[in-house]
């Protein structure tokens, strides 16, 4: 879907990236950061996933084939899912505030955020990004986009597990209770008794 000569989904992602770059400047000082080696797996999956989703300039044979027709309503649903996912990620980022970091780490005076989307989802930024990538994969309609989405799911799951290990060491039982109430990427349908 092109509006005024610009692709809608590309504009959504561009706006998101610009917001993220500005917001990344307003974070607290880091107290503990995981080692570079433990970040390699998730970072490699995320970079490869991004190349598959966004790197349509290089052909990949059968992965360039469409898995869904390019009907206007498919493109519309993809654009809406992309916008909704990016909106969730921005909302979560605003609630996380100065505790945000690009890599698993603990900040000085790190707080356990349990408000806004964090009340029901432990990693709502990742949830939003995955929803946006699902929308983008639908919008692009190519198998390469589905593979890119799968790599993002794996990379963000791995990163979330490492973040949770740090949060358990920092917040102990408080974080364990939060894990029981809130799902990792989706809200829990029922809360444990």
The CA distances from residue 55 to 48, 69, 83, 100, 128, in Å, are 10, 20, 20, 28, 21
Q: Per residue in 57-116, pLDDT tens?
A: 788 899 999 999 999 999 999 999 999 999 999 999 999 988 888 777 787 788 999 999
Query: Among the ranges 32-41, 83-92, 181-190, which has the highest mean pLDDT value?
Result: 83-92
What average pLDDT does the segment 172-182 reach? 94
Report whether 45 contacts 157 (CB < 8 A).
no
What average pLDDT does the segment 31-49 reach? 77
pLDDT at 1: 59
pLDDT band at 167 (very low <50, low <70, confident <90, very high): very high
pLDDT at 36: 65
Q: Per residue in 2-29, pLDDT tens?
A: 554 458 999 999 999 999 999 888 876 7
pLDDT at 5: 47
User: Which of 103-112, 122-131, 171-180 has the least mean pLDDT?
Assistant: 103-112
What average pLDDT does the segment 30-39 reach? 67
pLDDT at 164: 94
- The mean pLDDT of the chain is 88
pLDDT at 109: 85
């Amino acid at each position: 879907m092109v509006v005024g000569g610009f692709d809608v989904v590309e504009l959504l992602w561009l706006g998101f990236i610009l917001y993220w770059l500005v917001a990344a400047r307003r974070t607290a000082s880091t107290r503990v950061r995981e080692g570079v080696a433990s970040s390699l797996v998730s970072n490699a999956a995320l970079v490869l996933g991004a190349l598959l989703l966004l790197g349509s300039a290089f052909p990949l044979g059968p992965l360039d084939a469409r898995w869904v027709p390019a009907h206007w309503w498919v493109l519309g649903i993809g654009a809406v899912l992309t916008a909704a996912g990016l909106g969730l990620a921005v909302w979560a980022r605003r609630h996380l505030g100065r505790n945000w970091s690009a890599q698993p780490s603990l900040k000085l005076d790190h707080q356990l955020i349990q408000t806004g989307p964090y009340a029901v989802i432990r990693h709502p930024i990742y949830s939003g990004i995955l929803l946006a990538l699902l929308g983008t994969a639908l919008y692009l309609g190519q198998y390469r986009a589905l593979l890119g989405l799968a790599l993002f799911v794996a990379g963000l799951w791995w990163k979330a597990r490492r973040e949770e290990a740090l949060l358990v060491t920092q917040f102990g039982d408080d974080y364990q209770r939060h894990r029981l109430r809130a799902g990792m990427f989706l809200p829990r349908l029922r809360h444990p008794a």
